[in-house]
Structure 1
Amino acid sequence: MNELMTSSRIKIEPVQNSKIHEIDFDNLVFGRKFSDHMVVMEYENGAWSTPVIKPYGPIEITPAMNSLHYGQAIFEGMKAFYVDEETIHLFRPEVHFERLNNTARRMCIPEMDYETFIVGLEELIKLDHQFVPKKEGTALYIRPFIFASDDLLAARSSNKFSYYIITSPVGAYYPEGFNPVSLTTTDNYVRAVVGGTGEAKTAGNYAASFLPAREAQEAGYTQVLWLDAKERKYIEEVGTMNIHFLIDDVVITPELTGSILPGITRRSVIQLAKDWGYKVEERKITIDEVFEASENGSLKEVFGSGTAAVISPVGRIHHQGKTINIGTGKIGDFAKRLFDEITGMQYGRVEDPYGWIHPVKVQ
């Protein structure tokens, strides 16, 4: 196999035959097909190795690999957007990197430097830029992740770790597309506790949510609306996104208490809302307050925010036998404005006054 070396000293082992012909860009399923290459880096003896970009494919592990037994694994979720034949946009990669390192610290995983992260990602995008889909509403999903790779059955932090970046051309995350989703609370489960790992993007948080999510879907809802673990009354987040409420003209979102994932899109929504003149409150909000606002007519919109869906309108919330319907069955004006502004920056249609866009020149 031919091996190239970039100016940044990243080794590149290019594929001999691309899989791009296997991608149906008109019918993209989220996270099903993957690009030609992946970034790989190993941690051993107290240091990260030189990154390598190699063909995407199976990796060899042993049955005793640490992360399979003790869950020491973390990840990020990002997107790349097609602008033109020369430019691909990344959205706020430095904030994703910051969150990756924060999660690593919480999960006793070694951190890395930003230059290694962003250069490896840029080189991967340049190499696989033809996998970035061009249709509106599509993107190249980027998944950096780290897992413990010690070959040892011991309930302690691993001494070896593997870092990868894989990418996947994707369409809409939810099957509803841009139509409002429905949410339900649960009396039987909690997602996270203060002092736990709720604010970390770690694998176990998601595994623990699969059963309640499946039960919610079997009952006819899209996702679980999680309440706090202690009093079971304060809203925290949805299974795959943060949550926001427009009550009168105030944008309310649950404050970050350590049990809520600090979303990148959440942060962007808050910044935009403030700059547009809205009063923004990051505070505790009860499920009862939301139902009361619906009853008195002050609840104007409810929507989620996250990398996968960007902005996802909520049309129905169920809690302990009661249901409220929000809006008219379509996305609200405020949520639509947010969606248009954020995606406009991502696709290069709208000016970015914040420095959120990181362009990658591929030609």
Structure 2
Amino acid sequence: MSADSGKFSGTLPYAATTLLVECAAYQSRLIPIQRSTGKASVVVIIPLLPVTEQAKNKPYRQTEQTAYVQDNETRSAGHDTAGVQRGIFRVFDATRNTPLPATVCFFFTKSGRKTCLTTNASGQVSLAFRERDIVALEASASDYEPYAGNLVIEQLGGSSVKHAIPMNRTLTLLAVEAKGATRCMIRVGQQIVPLTVLQPGRFAAYDLLPGQYELSIGYGKHAVQRTVDLRSGLNWTSFTKSADTIAIVKSPRPATAPEPSVRNHELAPSLLSIDSIPMIYFEQSSYVLRPDSQRVLQQVAQYMKTHPDYTLEITGHTDNVGTPSLNQTLSMYRAMVTASFLARQGVDDDRFIKAGLGGNQPLATNDTEINKARNRRVSLKLISTR
């Protein structure tokens, strides 16, 4: 059971193979446990997404099913377009909003019929419903958790109705224990991404894909490097500085990023104007901090460490691409990543006020790519506690 903060702790038996995380109003997560030798104290982040409540003519997860009985009213089962509802179903990654190759199966309550379809390049399937019914649907895609939902068909007016089927990629979590370490980074493609600091010497990542990665653990001006093979589920590893001193190398520099469409204006080293901290910008559907954002945050952290009577409001925002619920989650991730970076610079986490507003407060109209880029941001505001 978690506290109000969303944190929980417990002991996993050695024979445990799966971790089930359930929370009211959020989708459950089923996480395979990858074995590791010996005992370990693991600290991880487990992201959850909100569920969709039961509704008519709109898919919702079967976990949200409540008592519902259709009346015996019948409609034409022929081919008259007035007695048809054409459903267009888009299957996509719930976090990245990208289309998925998937199989979608429909189970009709009244006839007992089952129909399975494969998505096209846009992640879509379409199907004509010719009678009022309660239809179960299941979607499956490689490396994703199965989607099980229901669809109540009530309206047969010849219209086309678009439906969204968001799917959760099977989580690949990484927990790193490295006593005395001040930082932990992982190479993802050509980028070097910092892991989130959860406790002193404990780091975590929660948005990875299965595969081989290079970890870098920082001790002062040097780092220990290690290659790790991650599988779907919960992975963990530990470092000891004394055992790994032979592998100490210079800390890697972040890979050069492409010229961004919206640049951050760097703060003066003395942070002369605390009322005009530059925005932190993000790429589309991403919550990875860019190098120019990190430079701004380093100066914000420097100011906060020398001015302990300030707290910091960290507010995440998105453009209008994607559903409101997904954008709400993405905006909160952006705020959390920003706070985690500042914490790694030595600022106490209890000095942050984090919020995610989705796309509800755009700086610009979302009519061009440049304007959308301006809206993919985190705003920072220092507040005096005196």
Q: TM-score, normalised by structure 2?
A: 0.29
Higher relative contact order (Cα pairs below 8 Å, separated by 6+ residues): 1
Q: Determine which structure has the larger helix proportion and give its number.
A: 1
Q: Determine which structure has the larger strand proportion and give its number.
A: 2
